[in-house]
Chain A
Amino acid sequence: MATIHLDGKPCAARSGTNLLQACLEAGADLPYFCWHPELGSVGACRQCAVRQFSGPEDKTGRIVMACMTPVTDGALLSINDAEAREFRENVIEWMMVNHPHDCPVCEEGGECHLQDMTAMTGHNKRRYRFTKRTHTSQNLGPFVKHEMNRCIACYRCVRFYHDYAGGEDLAVFASHDNVYFGRATDGTLENAFSGNLAEICPTGVFTDKPFSAAYSRKWDLSGAPSVCVHCATGCNIIVNARQDTVRRVLNRYNGEVNRYALCDLGRFGYGFVNAPTRIRAPLRVISEQQTPIPAQDALTRFARMAADGPVIGIGSSRASLETNFSLRALVGPDRFSTGQTRQEQTCTDCALSLLRAHPGAIPTLHDMESADAVLVLGEDVSATAPRLGLALRQSVRQPSFHAADAAKVPRWMDAAVRTLGAECPSALFIATPAPTELDSIARETVRTAPDNIARLGFAIAHRINPAAPPVPDMPDTDAAQADRIAATLVAAGKPLIVSGMQYGSPALMQAAASIASALATQNPAAGLSLVLPDCNSMGLTILGGLTLEDVLEKAATGEIATLVIAENDLSRRLDPSSLTKLKNDVPNIVLIDHTLTPLSRDAALVLPATPFTECTGTLVSQEGRIQRFFPAITPAAPVQAAWRWVRMLAEQISTNDETLPDRNPATDLRTWTRVDDVTAALSRACPALAEAINAAPNADYRADNQKIRSEPARASGRTVIRSHISVRDQPPPQNPDTPFSNSMEGAYSPDLPAALIPFFQVPSWNSGQSLTRFQQEIGGAMRGGDPGIRLFATPSDSPPEPPRTPDIPAAFTPRDDEMLLLPEGRLFGPEELSALSPSVAARSAADAPTLSLPAGTPYPPRMTLHLSDGPHDLATRPVTNLPDGIALCPPHMVMRAFAFPRTARLSPVTSAAAVTPGYAAPGHATPVTPSPLTPAPVTPIPVTPASGPTASVTPRRDRP
C-alpha cells in the first residue's frame, strides 16, 4: 500500500496500480473513457488528466494522464486543479464536436458513460459552430446495433473485440477525425463475445439489438441478479424486465467467474422466456390437441393417475436444485431419475469423482486467466464453455506479463505489454479432433481421435509421474510430443489441464485428471477443470439418481404407471424408437416445464413452470460453485415454479393415498411454502449440498429493515404503462421467494451482498461503469464477497485414492464402412433453450448444419448420413487436418437426440433421402483456404492398431 495525496487529502492506494484506479478507489470522481479495468490503460482519450506535483516544493506541477501514471508512495496530485479541470472539459467538448447529441433516441440514454462524464466535467455549452462529420452505420447482425455517429473514438471496442476476445472482423478504418470502428463490410459480427460491445462502448455506438427493439430506459427496468443457464460455466448475469417481458441480459461482475464479459449465448439466449413456445396454462390432450385446463382439474387428474401405480420422477440438468430435489422428495430417491442418459451420467459421475479426488487446485475462471501453461485435452471449450475459452485466451498473455515485469512496465500498460510480448511463446496446447477457435494462439495443436488424445494424455501423465501407468505402443513422434508438453507443464508455475465430456469419453477426463494429479504431487497449484454440458449438470450429479436407461427398463417391465418429468426434453436424449417405446410403456406422462418441447405433444398433462427469469433457484456450476438466481418477473398464476407444482401434486396424492413415500415431517414437501424451505430441506437431506442454503441470502434478507429495490430510484410510468387498462396504481407484486421489493422502493447500496445486486448505479455514475464502486478494489472481489459458494475450493484432504489402473483406450482405427461421428464445435443452435431465442435463431440460421469431413479426401458436395432416425441429406464441408475416419455434425441440429461418439454410415445422396428439415439447403460448401504461410497440413496417417496413435501435429509457426 502507498499513500497518495489527492487535493491535499491523504488516501491509501494500491502500489502497482495507476493514479486513475487509485482515484476511483478512493471514491473520487475522475472521468475517463479509454481505460477499462480489464483492458488496462492506453492513454488515448486524454480524459483522465490530473495535475501531478513532483514534491511539496513543486508549485507548478504538470498535467498527466492519471491512467498512464503509476502510483508512487507520496504522490501529490490534484483533480480539482483549475487547469486540469479545464483540460478535461475541453476533452469532452472535442469528443462532442461530431457527436449527434441524439440522447433522446439513443439506447444508451440514461445509462451512458458519455452523458455521465459530460455532466461530470461541466461541459454544457457548445462552441463548435461548423458542420458535423457524419458516418454511415452498418448492419452487424442480429445481436449488435451500430450507430457510428455517436462514436467518440476511445478505441475500447477494438481493444476488447480484437485484442481481448480475439475477434478478427472488427477494426479501425481511416484516420484523423474520420476514424471508423466497424467491419470492412456489413455483416454479422463473428466473435462469440460481440454482445459485450454494448457494455464496453461508453456511448451508444454498439448497442444490444434485441433490447433496442423492445427498448426501455434503465430507470424503467427492474433487475434481478441471476445466473446464466446456457452452459455449465455459471456466469453471473442481471436480467432486466419491464412489465411481463424480459428485455435484456447484462453482465453481472463476479470477480472469480465471468468478471467483465459474457458470451453471446448468455447475453442473447434469454429470448426463449418471451417466446410463443412458453407454456402459460396447464394442458391436457382433448381431441388430439393440447388444450388449456384449470389448474385444479389438472391436479385432480394427477391424483387419479397416481392411484394407478408407481410414480417415477425424471429431473433435469437444466433445472434448479429446487426443482430436482422437490421431485425427488415426491417420488423418493429410488424412483428419481436424473434424466441423463447412462453415458452422460457415467461422464458426469466420473467428472465429479475426479474433481473431488484432485489433490491440486480446482481453478475458478479467473484463476485460469493466470495459468502459465495450459493443456486442453479433447474439448472444444469455445463451443461448450465459451467464457472459459475466453479465460484461456488471456492465459497465453502470462509470458508477456513476465516480460513486462522484467522491463519494469506495469501490467496495466496495455499497449506496451502487448509490444513487449510480441515474441513471447504461448504455452497453450490443444489436443482436439477438429480445429478450435483457440488454435491460432496455441503453441501446438494435436489433431487426432478422442481415444488417441486420451492416450497422449496418459503418456504425458506417465512422463510427469512414472508411477502413472505407461501407454503401450506409442509411436516416437507422439512420445516426443508428450515429452515436450510434459516438460512445459512441469516447468510452469501454475499449470492447468482442461477437459470435458463433449466427446462422451470418460477416458479423456481420466487422462486429464491423471496429468493434473501427477503435476499436483510436485506443484499444488496444478489445476484441473472439467467442462460439463448443462447449467446444473454438476448439482444434479451430486444429487444422483437413476439413468434414463434405468427408467426405460422399469417402463418395459411395467413398473411405471406415471412419469413426472420436470424441465427435461427427453426427445433430445432418447432416440425416436426408445422414446416411442417409453411412451407406449408408460400410461401417464406428466410434464412440468416452461417451454413446449416435442415431448409435450404426447404428455397426458402439462404443467406450466417458470423459467429462470421468473423464479428463485440454485445451480451448481462445473467448477462446483453453488449460485442462486432470482426472478426478474413474478409470474401470474397458473404459471409457477416447478417445485410448487410438485408440492401441489404431493398434496393431491396425500389426500387420497396414505401410503406415499417420505412421510418424514422434516422433509415433507407439503410443508414447504417458500423456496427457501425447499433449499433448506435439500441442504439437510443432501450433505454434499449442505451449503446450498447459503449460496445467497434468503428471502428474509433486509437492508435497513427494507427489502431491496429492484429498480433504480426514478422508475417512471408504473401506472402509465397500464393506462389503457386502468390508471389505478397497482401494488408491486409480492414474491415470497425473494428479498426484492419489485419496485423502486427499498434499500440499495454498493455494500449489499453481491449475490443480491439487481443493477449497478451510484450518484453521478449511471452506467455499468459504476461497478468500480461495488468492488473491494477495482478488478477484485465484490464488496460483499464474490457470489457463490465453492464446493471444491480446497483440495481434497482425503488420502489419495489407491492408484487405479485407468482404462487406457486402444488407438483409434478409421473404418472403411463407417465414420466416427463427433460433435461439431458450434455455439449457436445446438443448445436447447437459446435455440428458441429469436436473436440466437437468427444468428444460427445463417449457418446451416453441415457434415464436416476430412479435407484430405475428396467428398461430394452433399452426402447422406445414416442415423437411427433415418437418413439425413447434408452439405459437406471439408475440414483441414480433421483426422481420417472422423466426421462432424452439429449436436441436436441434424438428429434431435444425439449422443457422441457414435459411428455412422455415409452414402452418396439419393433423391429419396430426406433433407434435414428447417434449414435451407446451402449451396456448395466452400472450403476455407488457409494461408500458404500456414504450414502445409500434415495429413493424418491412418493408424493401424500395431503402430499406436499418430497425431497430426501443427506446431505454431515459430519464426526467427
Chain B
Amino acid sequence: MSTADHPLPDDLQAEILALARAEPHPRSACVAALQRVQSRYRWISTHHLRDVARLLDMSPDDLDGIATCFNLLFRKPVGRHVILLCDSISCWIMGRDHLCDHLCRTLAIRPGETTEDGAITLLPTVCLGHCDHAPAMLVDDTLCGDVDLPMLARLTDTLTEEPPP
C-alpha cells in the first residue's frame, strides 16, 4: 500500500478545512486543497481525492471533474522532480524542441513520462512568463531561464544522483 492509499493525515485535513472555512462556499477551496495534497504527495490519488471531496462537501465525481480540467493537478504519480519545459512560442523560437529531444534521449523517456528510477517527470508546459530568458523551464518550484544543453546536463545529473528519500 503506497502512501497515496492512506487517509489524509490530520494536519492536512485541518489545513483543508481551514481553507474551506475561509471561503463563502467550501468548494471555492477545492483547487487550493488539491494543491496542498499534491505538494505533500506530489500527485492526487483517488483515495485522497475522495477525502478532499468529503471535507469540502462535494461529490468525488464533481471534484475529479475539476481536478482533471487543470493542467497542473496531477492525477497520476509523478517523479520526485518535475521538469516543466515551456513549449510556448518564444521558447519554441529559441529552440526548446531541441532541448526537449535531448532531455528525452538522456532520460530515456517521452514528454509526459517519468524516468525509470522515479527521479524525473518531464512535462511540457504553457508559457512560463520568462520569454525574455527563453528557453525556460520550471524545475519543481524553481524557474530557470536561458536553458542550454550544459545546464540540462548539470540538472539531470544532480536530480538523478540525489538519493531517493
Contacts and interface: CB of A to CB of B under 8 A. Distances in A.
Whether A and B touch (Cβ < 8 Å) is answered with yes
Interface of A: 162, 168-175, 183-185, 422-423, 929, 931-934, 959-960
Interface residues of B, number: 20
B127 to A, nearest CB: 17
Most B-side CB within 10 Å, residue of A172, A423, A934: A172
B57 A183 contact: no
Nearest to A960: B24
Given A932-B17, A933-B26, A184 B56 contact: no
Nearest to A179: B69
Given A173-B69, A175-B69, A933 B57 contact: yes
Nearest to B64: A184
B61 A170 contact: yes
B79 interface: no
A933 B28 CA distance: 14
A169 B26 contact: no
A171 B61 contact: yes
A173 B68 contact: yes
Nearest to B14: A932
Contact of B59 (A169, A173, A960): A169
B111 interface: no
Contacts of B17: 932-933
B59 to A, nearest CB: 3
Name the prevailing secondary structure of the B interface residues.
helix
B65 A931 contact: no
A934 B57 contact: yes
Contacts of B20: 933
Interface of B: 17, 20-21, 24-26, 46, 49, 54-57, 59-62, 64-65, 68-69
A932 B55 contact: yes
Contacts of A422: 25
Nearest to B55: A931
A184 B60 contact: yes
B61 A168 contact: yes
Contacts, number: 51
Contacts of A932: 17, 55
A592 B21 CA distance: 62
B57 A174 contact: no
Contacts of B26: 931, 933
Given A933-B26, A959-B24, A960-B24, A171 B54 contact: no
Contacts of A185: 46
9 contacts: A162-B62, A171-B62, A184-B60, A184-B65, A185-B46, A422-B25, A931-B26, A931-B57, A960-B24
Contacts of A169: 59, 61
Residue picked from B56, B61, B68, most chain A C-beta under 10 Å:
B61
A437 to B, nearest CB: 13
Given A174-B69, A932-B55, 11 more contacts: A168-B62, A170-B61, A171-B61, A175-B68, A184-B65, A185-B46, A929-B54, A931-B26, A931-B57, A933-B17, A933-B55
B112 to A, nearest CB: 14
Nearest to A422: B25
Given A933-B17, A933-B20, A168 B68 contact: no
A543 B23 CA distance: 58
Contacts of A929: 54
A141 to B, nearest CB: 14
Contact of A173 (B21, B25, B64): B64
Contacts of A168: 59, 61-62
A422 B24 CA distance: 11
Nearest to B65: A171
